[in-house]
Structure 1
Amino acid sequence: MNQPSPPILIIGSYVSPYVRKLLACLAIKGLAYTIDPITPFYGNDEFSRLSPLRRIPVLVQGDLALSDSSVICAWLDEAYPDQPPLLPQGSSADRARARWLEEFADSRMGEVFIWDLFYQKVVHPAVWGEPGDATRITHAIDTAIPEVLDYLEAELPDDGFLFGTIGLADIAIATFFPNARFGGYEVDAQRWPKTAAFVARCLAHPAFAALTPFEQAQIAVSPQQRRDALLAAGAPLSETSYGLKTPRKGVMTL
């Protein structure tokens, strides 16, 4: 008889695009989890042991601890092959393209949407009590984000998803746009119509839409009020937390 898998714990904030990506993939797989919704700046020493770069998300299942959203999502497909796949099941070329689009999203979109925009406009003031870098924000809005959107406009489908049903590549791209909105940036649907429509389709999917109430509950309060707000919203929180009351910078803080 097969033994049931240990429960899955996710460490990471609901408003992180990388956590959102993982949670959407868990929804596609139909896998339950509990979540410790901390931002990495509040992680304690045990969090640092689990995530040496002090990045989120982290997945803990029994004795297994994994960090990095791409590593975790690849593991999900291997560990749960009977659940819907995250990568396209057609050609090897499709799978390679899906992996490339995930990498483009994780690296380039993460750089411009998160570190140059969202971190500077939202996280830096909220966590460190200081204004973000106005030069980085301006460059992101005027130059870097339009370059990303020009690329996506040429790559995304006119309708539907990239490889038929929604999968990892779609999720990896769409996950950055709620953060852009939190940072005051909206995609110009006249300039980038395919991208705007694609993002709207993805974010309307139940895998994303189910997370929206928790993101809104979290973004509306201070880090110290987060757990109470999320419990009130019905989030599946873990009983214990790896969080501290005060933030500290890590090796990857920009």
Structure 2
Amino acid sequence: MSEPLTIIGNYISPYVRKVLVCLELKGIPYRIDPIAPFVGDAEFSRLSPLRRIPVLRDGDLVLNDSTVICEYLQDRFPQPSLYPADPVKRAQARWLEEYADSYLGDVIVWRMFFQKGVRRFLFNEGTDEDVVRRARDEELPVALDYLEARLPVAGWLFGDISIADISIAALFRNAVFVKYHVDAQRWPRTAAFLARAWALPPFLALAAYEERTLRTPLPEQRAVLAEMGAPLTDTTCGNAAPRYGVMRLG
């Protein structure tokens, strides 16, 4: 591979996080343009017609959607494998990835993180506290009950760490950003599973960038990340004023 892969997408996105953890676990070099989709310029719209992140560029190839990107990485760089070899377990892993991306994404990202973070700090809009309360007290416990019955007491879902483990852990990081912590007494397996996942070197390394990003105004984030040594691209697609668009899920 002559040039590192390029990822477009912000460190605090769980879908970007999922892709970056896969890259890190596979030891694949990459560069990142850490933009939020809300500030993507015309070039970003050309590369991502739905204005979603992440975007992967591999030479002339452009891919959208975190699931598509992770499957491409697995096909192109098979080892170490992040998908179970057994077809039944592989299908189960893909389902849990989809469950995380769709249901957890809707509840954690859009009903909690977006409401309490993005709407307030990027668009100067009020938080719909009823939406947040329903997500926290009613909708997220449904997911936690479901996962508690399936997550292992120790280790990972299918032996070695897989896309299912990565996806679940990536989504729950955004719950922490809005001060939600899984109740270890009510959901002990889930709480222990998340602690194990977040202790892995890729999650720990990304957490440093995430935490600085959260504490830094959007126009200053790129400079701060450069000072931290993040593997940034030479140019950015994040030059437009914040605006809503077709951006849900990744």
Q: TM-score range by the shorter chain?
A: over 0.9
Q: After superposition, where does 1:7-156 map in structure 2 within 5 Å?
A: 7-81=4-78, 83-89=79-85, 91-156=86-151
Q: CA distance change for structure 1 residues 252 and 238 in 2, over 3 Å: closer, same or farther?
A: closer
Asked if 2 retains the 8 angstrom alpha-carbon contact of 1:87 and 1:167, the reply is yes
Aligned residues: 249
SS of the counterpart of 1:60? strand
C-alpha separation between the residues in 1 aligned to 2:168 and 2:125? 29
**CA-to-aligned-CA distance 1:166-224 (integer Å, 9 cap, x gap):** 12110000001221011121110000000000000001011211111111111111100
Paired position in structure 1 for 2:243: 248
C-alpha separation between the residues in 2 aligned to 1:149 and 1:138? 16
Asked if 1 retains the 8 angstrom alpha-carbon contact of 2:12 and 2:210, the reply is yes
4+ residue runs of structure 1 moved beyond 6 angstroms? none
Q: CA deviation at 1:5?
A: 4.3
Q: Which protein, 1 or 2, shows the higher relative CO under an 8 Å CA cutoff with sep ≥ 6?
A: 2
C-alpha separation between the residues in 2 aligned to 1:131 and 1:70? 32
RMSD: 1.2
**Percentage identity across paired residues of the two chains:** 53
**CA-to-aligned-CA distance 1:130-156 (integer Å, 9 cap, x gap):** 112212101001100111100000010
Q: Which residue identity is paired with 2:118? A: V
Asked if 2 retains the 8 angstrom alpha-carbon contact of 1:58 and 1:65, the reply is yes
**CA-to-aligned-CA distance 1:216-250 (integer Å, 9 cap, x gap):** 11111110010111112111111100012521111
Asked if 2 retains the 8 angstrom alpha-carbon contact of 1:213 and 1:233, the reply is no
Asked if 1 retains the 8 angstrom alpha-carbon contact of 2:100 and 2:168, the reply is yes
C-alpha separation between the residues in 1 aligned to 2:2 and 2:96? 31
C-alpha separation between the residues in 2 aligned to 1:156 and 1:209? 21
- Pick aligned residue for 2:174 from 162, 168, 179: 179
Q: Which residue identity is paired with 2:178? A: G
Asked if 2 retains the 8 angstrom alpha-carbon contact of 1:98 and 1:169, the reply is yes
Structure 2 stretches lacking a partner, 5+ long: none
C-alpha separation between the residues in 1 aligned to 2:242 and 2:45? 13
SS of the counterpart of 2:185? coil
Query: Which range moves more in the overlay, 204-213 or 147-156?
Result: 204-213
Asked if 1 retains the 8 angstrom alpha-carbon contact of 2:52 and 2:248, the reply is no
C-alpha separation between the residues in 1 aligned to 2:203 and 2:160? 14
Q: Which residue identity is paired with 2:82? A: L
C-alpha separation between the residues in 2 aligned to 1:182 and 1:6? 33
TM-score (norm 2): 0.97
- Pick aligned residue for 1:211 from 203, 206, 225: 206
Asked if 2 retains the 8 angstrom alpha-carbon contact of 1:42 and 1:247, the reply is yes
Paired position in structure 2 for 1:237: 232
Q: CA deviation at 1:252?
A: 3.6
C-alpha separation between the residues in 2 aligned to 1:183 and 1:148? 17
Structure 1 stretches lacking a partner, 5+ long: none
C-alpha separation between the residues in 1 aligned to 2:191 and 2:173? 12
